[in-house]
Amino acid sequence: MAQLHDGGLLRLGVNIDHVATVRNARGGAYPDPVRAALLAEEAGADGVTAHLREDRRHIADSDIDRLMERLRVPLNLEMAATDEMQRIALRHRPHAVCLVPEKREERTTEGGLDVLAEEARLRAFIAPLAEAGSRVSIFIGADRAQIEAAARIGAPVIELHTGAFCDLSAEGQGEAAAAELARLREMAALGAELGLEVHAGHGLTYDTVAPIAALPPVRELNIGHFLIGEAIFTGLAPAIARMRALMDAARSEGAA
């Protein structure tokens, strides 16, 4: 397992959900997300992320079985906080479990988890996962009260939602993007102060990764859709290598 609890290095988790989206468009076995995961591992990914959604629209249960069998880097299993998903996670005991809100009608994970609204339930939900050895991460908006609640329920990790920052950047709304980035910076620092390991992800591209990678408390980025899209044009390994290089450059510039 590479660089799990290193000092300042920034890990890259590659999300392979959308390889399964393409596979499922034809209902067969090709292209295989597990093959993509193994390729990502070879190309320098520090981990692989897969979201087993309640409606199984991309990743399937059998994908998780095969990822657990074949991956050498850690698997980060993204899932909703439901009894069914908890049973699956307890059976597999992946390295990490990232809890995300899930709505059937959404195209992708639209916001962070509302920890404040269900603090007691989530505290009870994550306890057996932690006991089983999975590091629980909470996907969360850059919101002080939510981050404090994540710390109170005993989650060791938060993943900050970078979707709004990426959308604003793509729309050319520079001022609003800068304000969102400032919020992410402040909330990443708060997470670290509270003793949480801070990750970030959603919507990141070559154009938006650098300022997020440069935030010192951030230890891991999870990136999927853009890398799988880029793989169509350049191949998955070169896309991962370029993302990795942008992350490393931003990190060392930030440290300089």
Q: How many Cβ atoms are within 10 Å of 218's Cβ, its own excluded? A: 27
The span from the CA of 138 to the CA of 163, in Å, is 15
Q: Is 202 in the site for ligand PXP (CB under 6 A)?
A: yes
Structure tokens at 70: 């074949």
Residue 193 annotated to the active site: no
Alpha carbon distances (Å) from 188 to 84, 159, 161: 31, 9, 11
Q: Is 102 in the site for ligand PXP (CB under 6 A)?
A: no
Segment contacting ligand PXP by CB under 6 A, of 148-156, 169-177, 197-205, 207-215: 197-205
Residue 78 annotated to the active site: yes
Site mask for ligand PXP (CB under 6 A), range 36-65, x = bound: ---------------x--------------
- Contacts of residues 35-41 at CB distance under 8 Å and 24 or more positions apart, as own/partner, are 36/228, 36/231, 36/236, 37/67, 37/70, 37/71, 38/70, 38/71, 39/236, 39/237, 40/14, 40/16, 40/236, 40/240, 41/71, 41/72, 41/73
Task: Pick the catalytic residue from 18, 51, 95, 199.
Answer: 51
Residue 58 annotated to the active site: no
Q: Is 240 in the site for ligand PXP (CB under 6 A)?
A: no
Task: Give the three-class secondary structure for 77.
Answer: strand
Q: Between 206 and 237, name the residue whose CB sits nearer to ligand PXP.
A: 206
In the complex, the smallest distance separating the C-beta of residue 202 from ligand PXP, rounded to whole angstroms, is 4
Q: Between 15 and 169, name the residue whose CB sits nearer to ligand PXP.
A: 15
Structure tokens at 193: 């102060």
The span from the CA of 99 to the CA of 81, in Å, is 6
In the complex, the smallest distance separating the C-beta of residue 256 from ligand PXP, rounded to whole angstroms, is 27
Task: Give the three-class secondary structure for 134.
Answer: coil
Report angle CA 107, 110, 113 to the nearest 5 degrees. Answer: 135
Task: Pick the catalytic residue from 78, 180, 220, 230.
Answer: 78
Site for ligand PXP (CB under 6 A): which residue of 33, 47, 94, 201? 201
In the complex, the smallest distance separating the C-beta of residue 15 from ligand PXP, rounded to whole angstroms, is 5
Binding site for ligand PXP (CB under 6 A): 15, 17, 51, 78, 98, 100, 108-109, 139, 159, 201-204, 222-226
Which residues participate in catalysis according to the annotation? 51, 78, 202
